[in-house]
Each structure stands twice: as structure tokens, then as C-alpha cells.
Structure 1
Amino acid sequence: MQKFSFLPGCRVLQIERVIRGSLVILANNRRGSARCPHCGAVSRLVHSRYRRSPADLPAFGHELRVALLVRRFYCRQATCPKRTFAERFAGAVAPHARRTRRLAKALGRVGIALGGAAGARLALGLGMPVSRDTLLRVIRTLPLPAVEPPRVVGVDDWALRKGRTYGTILVDLERRRVLDLLADRSANTVAGWLRDHPGIAVVARDRSAEYARASHQRRWSGDPGCRPVAPARRHAPDA
């Protein structure tokens, strides 16, 4: 029996090759007890056993699956609504997941770089077969990256219905990405958004009177460090 770093707390019982050269790692939990995920009580009384087969990163050019022998325990806590519970493999596989955490992370990177269809084609060639729809679902489950609060913000209007309905678009000018879309272009709405983001040092806006009032409202509402900037007026060339 061996220990693998990608299966923390588990022991590998057997490695075998199956159809089409795929590899299967048979493993189980080394602990003799498990903790109820609902009430936290520790139990050693086994109710039943079953097998999970999540996909894992390929090895030596072959698809790889991990056959986990999972035990279901009785919960002996009288007040717990869970009468039985399955042991967890938190470091390797999420509950009910069909792939290991490290495979999901790798597929997420492929999907972010290439998208659904192209990412699925590349993943197939790398020994990680996945459909484009599944790849998009994997991307949606990834946590959003932490971003620094904006310092230089551009404010302009955008047309929901040209000539009739307009909103406000706010852009991080340093990172060149959209921060938010507001439902209208009134001074109170824009000023409220600016007050909720106290780290903004420069507001670059068009020459709209509403945006001018919003910038000054925010400036005189406790943040004198915010500097509104408007584009210079265009003058007619000399004759």
C-alpha cells in the first residue's frame, strides 16, 4: 500500500489498466472514523460502503480515474437530523464531484484561456476528455480573482434604447475593464456609487452637467481627495 500526495489521508490499494489503456487507482481512507458534516460528531460505526470513480489528471499519456472506496457511517448524535453520512475526501474530491479538485482546476485554466469548444478539443488531446458545456460549468464554479479597488475611473453614458433610455457606464481606466452599469445617468445615482468606492482618486467624465454635479457631490461629502477631470472644450481653428 502506498501514499500519494494528491490523495491526502488515503492509501492506494491497487493500480490497474482497463479498457483503452486507462488507469484506475483503487484507494480508501486510512482513518478509522469520520466526522458528521452536519453536527460534527465523530463516528466509528459503519453503515455501508460504496465506490466513487472521479476522473483525475492524466498520467503517462493515459486517462486516469480514482476508484474511492467510500464508507457511510451512522451518526450517533441523537439531536442530529442526519442518521447516516458519507465520509469526506476534502483534500482530493469535493462531495458529489465527478472529478478531482486538481483536474477541475486544470480544466478551469484551459476553459478560461480558450473557451468552451476550443478548450474541450485541447483537453481531449491532453487526456482530459470533457464536453464544452461541462467546461463552461467548471469555469462558472471557479472563484473570482481578487482585484484591487479602482483608483482612476471613467464615467460616461450608454444607450439602453438610443434616444430614449440611457444609463451610466463606469470603467477602471488603469486596468481597462468595466466596473459597473447603472440604470440611469442622474447625479444622485452616480454620486452614490462613487461614495461606495472611497479609494477612487480621479474621476474622468464627459462634460455632462449631471456627471459634474455627481463628482462635486462626492468630493464635498467627505472625500476631498477625489479629483474630477473633464475633457477640454474643442475650439474652432483660427481663420
Structure 2
Amino acid sequence: MNEFIKLLDKNIEFVSYEIINDTMYINIVSNRNEVICPFCGEISKKIHSRYLKSFQDLPIQDKKVIIILNNRKMFCNNPNCNHKTFAEKFNFISSKGKKTKRLENEIISLSLNLSSITASKYLKRSIANVGKSTICNLLKKKDIMINKEDITKVCIDDFALKKRQAYGTIMVDIDTHQVIDMIFSRELNDVVEWLKTYQNLKIVSRDGSITYKNAISLAHLKAIQISDRFHLLKNLTTYCKEYLNKIFKSKIVIEKNTFDKFNKNKFCADKNKEMTKNERALKALNMINSGFTKTAICQSLKMNIRTLNKIINLKQNDINYYGKNKLTLKQQQRFKNKQELINTVREMKNNYSSVSKIARELNLDRRTITKYLDSTTTGINGNLGSKRKSNLDPYLLFIDHMVDLGATSTQILEKIKNKGYAGSASNLRHYISKRKNLLSDNCKNKSYDKTQHILVDRKLLIKLIFNPIEKIKELTPSILNKVYEKFPDYKKIIDIVSNFKALLKNKCSNELEAWITTTSKLNIEQLNSFINGIKRDIDSVKNSITYDYNNGLAEGSVNKLKVIKRIMYGRCSFELLRSKVLNIDSMKFN
């Protein structure tokens, strides 16, 4: 035990210990003959008094440890010293500390990846009695020393402490990938003063923020600013997607009579999609009986292998009900029962029974019996499939017109209420939702024929902005060429995005001006906004094409920061958050 105690300091000796419940109490004493005054440096041997000082240390054998030091108070012999007495000090604990420094380090390392509440609960089990506020205070005091003179290449980005209210800025070293610093602001003046403290900055990567652009220019005029390529490409594709959503309906009608065999197979697949679940299940069973493999059936019917196995395992009685909803089954059963009753009436009439006798035996009205005897009567309800009258009917034309103009259901409801509508808002919303799910106006046109045309989803055409056609299985070159013929602007949009991607990939910064000129000639509002943003920050955009640096490190660090912030359960002052982020990164790289 004495050897263990001397690991703290060679100038202390073990006296005794006692275990009470889950805690070990260790008594120690100093063995120094001389003590140096911390205020003047004078050596003193004269003892003023003694007192007991207790503090916590790392656990031993799952027992919490409290060390009780029989400490001395000494007289200072120097008449010029400001203090007549002083307490003996040791390096393993601060002057007023209640925990050894090695215990504090253990608490900090454990608490970095946990909330203070969770860390406090864990520590109290077998390490030390520590409150959540103590943990927060220890983390705030633990600061990282930054050698600002060595920092030359950084990327910066903003992050939200409280969305739309409070923001900060984070800085990451491009060479070491380590978070260097954070400030509780993204305002111009604050960022300028912050950047000036890093005197040797040569390269700064950032997003398209004009505030950061101006701040870097004011703090380091000669520093190379690099705009992030990801943000450039994201902004371009977002603007293009917004434009395509305006010019395309949700479904686009394309002629299919000139398509190749590959497309004909695709049409067969589309027909499979139009089949009901029950029809697909019956067809799958017929193909199994005909000797087709499961793989061939799944490819032909565009069916998942698990769905096919489920169909195969169905009993013969259950297959007729597969894929049918309760309402359909109820209607079919009702039709069957009614048809059986009609057949019974007709059999009784054939056996020379009178209408009155049949009515009495079956407990039906004679008029009903007469109707059932009519050869045109069937078990199908005459109202089946017919639409019930709705209080929306007088306003349907007006509602359709408003929906086409882009009005919301709330705006439409207000208008039709002024016209006299007394129904519910949910009734209107249901109608608008149902209408939007139908085919577009082009598809409902009489000129649209399934045998002569094919419907192309707008989302497939938008996918082409992000992916090559080889990765879009539902879209073929033949279909795409037809779309290009019908919508020439669409091809120009795709070419513009492709050229910009090639420009970034091949590092052709000298071609940027020509690309801007070509894109401007289209005179598309969304693309004009993107071009204005590039022109406003043209130098950094050209640098992003020339250099390999990007802002991915800062973006990734912001994501990690958000995780840390959420773990802290709202006990998230900026000082505490900064300390946690910097210390976690420091531990990774040291």
C-alpha cells in the first residue's frame, strides 16, 4: 500500500486504511523535513499547525477511494513575504481541490462522449462521487492550447446552436483533419477578429457564404479562398430540379410505336404492373405449374422472391382471396348470395309455383320476386361503381381551376365557403388529393392511347440530373431521345449539368466563363440566380476547380458536433460544447 501511495508523490507515506461499505479510506502523512513557501520561495521547517484534508482518488478493487492527508501549516521565515503562514502543497492535487489530478483526467475522458447526467450516474457506481455540475465545470476548465502560428490551411463552416436564432463558426485544419477552434458567432466583425488571430493563414476553404468571403478578405487579403465544389454542384442541381418540376407534368406522354424490342419488353413489364395482385398471383402459379423457375417468374412479373414464396405456400382456398381488400370480398360475397337467391326464385317458378307462394316461402315482397324473374336482373348492384352526390359537386370546376393555378386547400376552402359551400375541409382535401393522384391532363386526353403511347414519370427525368442513364433502369435511350425531341430545353439542361461536372472533374477553370455565357443564353430564371452567385464569388469558384481542397472536413465536423450537442440534453453552453469538441478531437490525434 505504501508503494501505491508513493505513486502519487514520493514525499508522502501510508499510515492506515479502513473500508466502510463501498469506500476505502486511506490515511497518509507528509515526510518532508523542509517545505518551500509558494509565495516567496523561502524554505521553512517551523510548523504552525496541522489539519486533515480529504480528497477522492482513482478506485482500488472496485472500491471508491478517499484519501485523508494529515497536512501541515507552516510559518514563513521571510519577513518580506506577504504571508506569515502557508499550507504545504503537493503536485498531484490543486490547492483547494477535492479530487486528484489523475481522477479529474479520468472523469474528463469518460465524460467527453456522454452527457454530464449519464456520466455522473456511471461514475457514482464504482469510481467517485461526482455531480453533473462538477463534470461540466471540469470540462470547461480543460482547455486545449492551440499553436496558431502553425496553422496555414483551414476550412470553416457555420453551425446552429439554436436553429434560426444562434449560430457559431467552426474551423478545421486541412492538413491534420483536427478541429482547431470555434467561436459563438458568424457575424462579419466577429469572424474577422477571430481570423486575424491566425496570422499565417494561406488557404481557406468555405461554402458560398458572402459573409465568410468578406471576413477572409478583410482578415487575410492574400489568402486563397476556395469555394466548396459539393455546394456548387448541389445548388446547380437544385435549381435545375426546380425548373423541371415547373415545365413537366407528373406524367409525360411519349409515343412508343418506334421503340425497339427492348422497350417492348418494358411495356410488357408495365402491363404486369397494371395487373391486380390476385391476377399476378394466379399467373405466377400457372407459370410454376408450367415449369418456369422462380427467378424467371420474378423477372417476368417484376415480383420479389419472398412474395412469390408466400404465394406458393398459400392454400388453394386462400389464393382466391389473395390481394383483395375486405370491401371487394364483401361485395363479391353479397353478389354471390343475391345471385343464388335469384336462381332459387327462378327454379321455383319453373316448378309451377306462383309468385305469391314464392314470396311467402322466401319471405320476400311479390314485386321483388317479379323483378328477380326478369331475365335482365343479376346479382350485381345497379349502383355499383356509380358516384354518390357530394356537396362539392357545384364547385368542382372552380376547385379544379384553382388547383391548376397552384392554390392550397386552405385558400380554396375560403373561396368556396364564400360561394356557399357548407361541407368540411377534410372532404375538400380528400377530393384534391384524389385528383392529384390521377393522371395528368395530357394522359386523360382522348388522344392518349395505351397501345400507341407510354407514360414517363417526371422523377425519372429528374434523376438524370444526378445519375447517368445506365443507372436508371426504367429509362432507356429510345425513350430519352423522344423526350429530347418533345422538350428541347430538357436536353439543354442535362447538357449544362454534364458540362459543369466535367469542368470540375477535369480542372478546366479557363472554361468556366464560356460555360457561364452558354448558360446565360437560355435565360432561365433559376439558372440566372445560380450564375449571379458564381459571378459574385468568381475567384473562389475558379480556385475550387483548380485546387483539390474542399469543405468536407468542416461539414463532417459539424455533424459530429450536432451529435455531441444532442447527447448533452440541453446542458449545452457554448463554452462546454467547445471544450468537448476540441478535447475529443485532441484525444484522437494525440
**Compared CA separation, residues 199 and 78, structure 1 to 2 (3 A):** same
Match of residue 68 from structure 1: 69
Map of 2:9 onto structure 1: 7
CA–CA distance in structure 1, aligned partners of residues 163 and 129 of structure 2: 43
Pair 116,88 (structure 1): closer, same or farther in 2 beyond 3 Å: same
Asked if 1 retains the 8 angstrom alpha-carbon contact of 2:18 and 2:26, the reply is no
Is the 1:172–1:179 contact (alpha carbons within 8 Å) kept by the matching residues of 2?
no
State the alpha-carbon separation in 1 of the partners of residues 172 and 21 from structure 2: 51
SS at match of 2:21: helix
Residues 167 and 185 of structure 1 are in contact (CA less than 8 Å); yes or no, is this contact kept in structure 2?
no
TM-score for the superposition, normalised by structure 1 = 0.77
| Cα pair 1:166 1:184 within 8 Å, conserved | no
Cα distance change, pair 43–107 in 1 and its aligned pair in 2 (3 A): same
Match of 1:130 in 2: 130
- Report the Cα distance in structure 2 between the residues aligned to 1:207 and 1:137, rounded to whole angstroms: 35
- Give the letter aligned to residue 187 of structure 2: D
CA offsets per residue over residues 161-186 of structure 1, 9 Å max, x none?
97xx9998454374485633556337
> For residues 102 and 157 of structure 1, what CA distance do their matches in structure 2 show?
34
Unaligned runs of 5+ in 2: 241-489, 494-590
Number of the residue aligned with 2:30: 29
User: Aligned runs of 1:58-97 on 2, under 5 Å?
Assistant: 58-90=59-91, 92-97=92-97
8 A Cα contact 1:119 1:132, kept in partner:
yes
Distance 1:229 1:51, change over 3 A: same
Partner of residue 229 from structure 1, selected from 213, 226, 231: 226
Corresponding residue number in structure 1 for 2:182? 179
By relative contact order (CA 8 Å, sep 6+), the higher-ranking structure is 2
| CA offsets 1:43-98 (integer angstroms, 9 cap, x no match) | 001110111111111111211111111111111111111011111112x2211111
Instruction: Evaluate the alpha carbon distance shift between residue 184 and residue 112 of structure 1 in structure 2; reply closer, same or farther with a 3 A threshold.
Output: closer
Letter in 1 for 2:224: R
Q: Supply the AA of the counterpart residue of 1:20.
A: N
TM-score (norm. length: structure 2)? 0.34
Q: Displacement, 1:113?
A: 2.2
Seen in structure 2, the aligned counterparts of structure 1 residues 145 and 120 have a Cα distance that, compared at 3 Å, is: farther
Rounded to whole Å, the distance in 1 between the matches of 2:118 and 2:167 is 35
2:168 touches 2:182 (CA, 8 Å); kept in 1?
Answer: no
Deviation (angstroms), 1:190: 5.6
> Quick one: structure 1 residues 10 and 228, their matched pair in 2 at CA, closer, same or farther if it must change by over 3 Å?
same
Q: Which residue type is aligned with residue 67 of structure 2? A: V
Q: Which amino acid aligns with 2:225?
A: P
- The alpha-carbon deviation at position 103 of structure 1 amounts to 1.2
Secondary structure at the counterpart of residue 152 of structure 1: strand
Task: Give the 3 Å change call, closer, same or farther, for CA 172–41 of structure 1 in structure 2.
Answer: same
Is the contact made by 2:158 and 2:186 (CA closer than 8 Å) also made in structure 1?
Answer: no
Report how many aligned residue pairs link the two structures.
228
Q: Which amino acid aligns with 1:72?
A: K
Unpaired runs of at least 5, structure 1:
none
Letter in 1 for 2:105: K
Distance in 2 between residues matched to 1:182 and 1:37, nearest whole Å: 41
Partner amino acid, structure 2, of 1:132 = K
Give the AA of the match of 2:109: R
| Structure 2 match to 1:45 | 46
Aligned to 1:19: 20
- CA distance, structure 2, for counterparts of residue 191 and residue 21 of structure 1: 54
Of Structure 1 and Structure 2, the greater strand share is in 1
CA contact (8 A) 1:156 1:170 kept: yes
* Structure 1 pair 180–76 and aligned structure 2 pair: CA distance change class (3 A): same
Instruction: Say what the alpha-carbon RMSD is for the aligned residues.
Output: 3.5
**Relative to structure 1, is the Cα distance of residues 179 and 129 closer, same or farther in structure 2, using a 3 angstrom cutoff?**
closer
Please tell me the residue identity of whatever aligns with 1:122: Y
**1:108–1:135 contact (8 Å) kept in structure 2:** yes
Residue aligning to 1:98: 98
Distance in 1 (alpha carbons) for counterparts of 2:205 and 2:19:
62
**Could you tell me how far 1:213 is from its partner in structure 2?**
5.4
Distance 1:18 1:161 in 2: 51
Max radius of gyration: which structure?
Answer: 2
In 2 relative to 1, CA 155–131 (structure 1 residues): closer, same or farther, beyond 3 Å?
Answer: closer
| Aligned counterpart, 2:143 | 143
SS at match of 1:105: helix
Contact 1:21–1:62 (CA under 8 A) maintained in structure 2:
yes
Distance 1:100 1:166 in 2: 37
The residue number in structure 1 matching 2:206 is: 204
